[in-house]
Chain A
């Protein structure tokens, strides 16, 4: 089974290094506004890395079939050649992790760096990990259950 990105906000310090690594890897510059991983840092004490879960909703709505699933990584990848930058995918993405890159004028999203995501590889505190899908699912169940459980304290 392929691997997926999984986040643990409790470990995130809000350092934004994942965004910097992403833009360096993808565009050769350091620019968090050109990153395909997003760190939401708010007060008080909210630090959450938001990543694409590769659900594929964008694939279905793309009018020119510019979004395709990669057979090896299961990542949904933008074909920049055919993308017209219409932004339909941005509208439909439930997580807000797609954007139109202002320089290339095409859709930009996480492609898991072809199977070795720079964000996870360099997160200093293990808040973003690239894990086996089964293990990640178990972790997500745990997080989901904890989040909706009645808190007694």
Chain B
């Protein structure tokens, strides 16, 4: 097989059984791979209602055809699982070297089942796997674990994906961190692996990826590299994603003080410019990425001194900063470092703290609940202290470790208004009231809850970028502007979502797919890349159909868990106007109308919001009917 390794590794931690399964080429092509194929695996192998933290829960580490190849966005892998935070399908993407190295080790997928009796780690190398003892690693943070494993194996080239104390302690939004600073962040994969006593997965290999038509492949990659010289979002790698902060604030769409507003008065103190000027050591890229949006930073002294590490990204800078009213960039970098070493999702961590601060301000939490720490907006030291407490589930940290949905359930109905989540997943740092109304739909319908990543950041369409979908039927040019809530948005969002889902099923990073012909990786260009790589006669239309298959199957996974239209809701605050700043007055008014149009465009039942039997049959998903 070309492009793929053709192998799936299945490890049962209960029995210790390790199996290598050959993948069926036809079936692989139907889903393309990565999250699409993982959706099929989890839908068929994991019955509804499984407790995500029980041994019966399965986890799929998924790579795609372009992972580890020269495709300029091919540094990604995704961990697919049922989230303990939301109870829904989850896909947590990460870059770094882990995905490519899993493929060089000989596997497209790793399925983890069961629960080890004692802590273990998994070593995957050159077509083989070994379950190794990790009792001596339990209790260590991600960095210590990574160092210890590299020393033990005497191999600095291995890629280590590890959980920290947060995952061991079952923090419901604990992350998996690979290569020290890259996070499969959202939804609590760290807690799932912790529940399985799996401390780390380690991959390396000398197997290559076979290319069907090497000459053609070199030519199309060369073309992709040329196109990306015109990438319209080139400012992102130049400044790192944290560079977005100033601009977003100027437009009044920087979520601030737990989404109470979209403008932070001290944004210039925590902006990307400051990070780049004062704290950056160098730029760094994920494996195989020509973009290089990663920053490597350190704080050399003071009370928030931090050793060199990756970050902070835009999301983190907002979540540990303005979301908590914090204007101290050194505290943000320190908080980011702690989240990385303890293995915490910075987004859910930040909002959980912001939510606690708002509850404290309203008197719903008092000094007695907070171990005597006054949770006042802007208290940088309190934020850093809370990150520690959350990771160890110590005192107030035990409550915060549950995420805002469960915290609100405990704190009572008055707290509900301040709980900023969709399906239990805390909102990321893009303000859906301002940025674009297509983003509001995205948050509402995304299978894993409020999400800026999977499958796309639909605002790009509103920014007048066609993402190569013009030829495939996207309504173009966008009408009505970013604030338009008319039904046409729903129709457009179908296309935008499917375009984004293409990167999900190919194992590509989200960046590089925004632009138009000649400036980004359009579905047409991805099809050309796939053609040369796999030897299959792939077309853009085939990619769109496979994307739709994947998107529908994830919906079906959630439907089995009881999720439907009633759960495609936004936090109450999002329907209320932003009170001040440059975007004062913006709100989401007509979510239901947009949902109606979107469901209709998707071929889903309007009242339930679920794929119809006809739609599923059309996509060859008969097994998901019912």
Contact = CB atoms under 8 A, between A and B. Distances in A.
Contacts of A41: 97
A61 interface: no
Contacts of A29: 208-211, 214
Nearest to A103: B208
Interface stretch (A20-28, A65-73, A87-95, A141-149): A20-28
A21 B470 CA distance: 32
B287 interface: yes
B69 A33 contact: no
A20 B217 contact: no
Interface in B58-93: 68-70
A10 B292 CA distance: 13
Contact of A45 (B69, B287, B292, B296): B296
Given A10-B282, A45-B296, A33 B104 contact: yes
B214 A124 contact: no
Contacts of A14: 284-285
B286 interface: yes
A10 B281 CA distance: 10
A47 B209 contact: no
B286 A28 contact: no
B104 A125 contact: no
Contacts of A135: none
A31 B104 contact: yes
Contacts of B180: 43
A3 interface: no
A139 interface: no
A124 B218 contact: no
B288 A124 contact: no
Contacts of A24: 70, 211, 214, 217-218
B288 A16 contact: yes
Contacts of B210: 29
Contacts of A124: 225, 290-292
B208 A30 contact: yes
Contacts of A34: 206, 208
Interface in A5-46: 10, 13-17, 20-21, 23-25, 27-34, 41-45
B288 A20 contact: yes
B284 A20 contact: no
A21 B68 CA distance: 12
Interface string B194-223: 000000000001111111001001100010
Nearest to B2: A29
A79 interface: no
B225 A122 contact: yes
Interface in A44-84: 44-45, 47
Nearest to B214: A28
B70 A33 contact: no
Interface size class of A (residues with CB under 8 A): 20 to 34
A107 to B, nearest CB: 17
Contacts of B52: none
A23 B285 contact: no
Contacts of B307: 44
A30 B284 CA distance: 21
A25 B296 contact: no
A21 B224 CA distance: 14
B535 interface: no
Nearest to A25: B218
A105 interface: no
B389 interface: no
Contact of A13 (B68, B225, B285, B308): B285
Of the candidates B208, B209, B291, B309, the one having the most CB atoms from chain A within 10 angstroms of its own CB is: B208
A11 to B, nearest CB: 9
Contact of A31 (B156, B206, B225, B296): B206
B615 interface: no
Contacts of A33: 104, 205-206, 208
Nearest to A10: B282
A32 B75 CA distance: 14
Contacts of A44: 281, 296, 298, 307-309
Given A30-B70, A33-B206, A124-B225, A13 B214 contact: no
B289 interface: yes
B206 A17 contact: no
Interface in A109-153: 122, 124-125
Interface string B274-311: 00000001111111111110101010000000011100
A15 B75 CA distance: 9
A125 B292 contact: yes
A15 B209 contact: no
Interface in B518-572: none
B285 A31 contact: no
A21 to B, nearest CB: 7
Contacts of B208: 23, 27, 29-31, 33-34
Contact of B156 (A10, A21, A42): A42
A32 B104 CA distance: 9
B282 A47 contact: yes
Contacts of A32: 104
Contact of B290 (A15, A23, A28, A31): A15
A22 B599 CA distance: 47
A30 B294 contact: no
Contact of B283 (A13, A23, A28): A13
Contacts of A45: 281-282, 284, 296, 308
A47 B287 CA distance: 12
B287 A31 contact: no
Contacts of A42: 156
Given A17-B290, A20-B70, A44-B307, A28 B211 contact: yes
Interface in B289-336: 289-292, 294, 296, 298, 307-309
A146 B39 CA distance: 53
A43 B207 CA distance: 24
Given A25-B218, A45-B296, A124-B292, A30 B225 contact: no
A31 B209 contact: yes
A25 B217 CA distance: 10
A26 to B, nearest CB: 10
B106 to A, nearest CB: 12
A102 B218 CA distance: 23
A32 B105 CA distance: 12
B206 A13 contact: no
A33 B157 CA distance: 11
A129 to B, nearest CB: 16
11 contacts: A13-B289, A24-B218, A27-B208, A29-B208, A29-B209, A30-B68, A33-B205, A33-B208, A122-B225, A124-B225, A124-B292
Interface of B: 68-70, 97, 104, 156, 180, 205-211, 214, 217-218, 222, 225, 281-292, 294, 296, 298, 307-309
The 7 closest A-B pairs by CB, nearest first: A31-B208, A28-B214, A44-B308, A13-B285, A33-B206, A15-B285, A124-B290
Given A13-B285, A124-B291, A125-B292, 6 more contacts: A24-B218, A30-B69, A30-B208, A33-B205, A43-B180, A44-B307
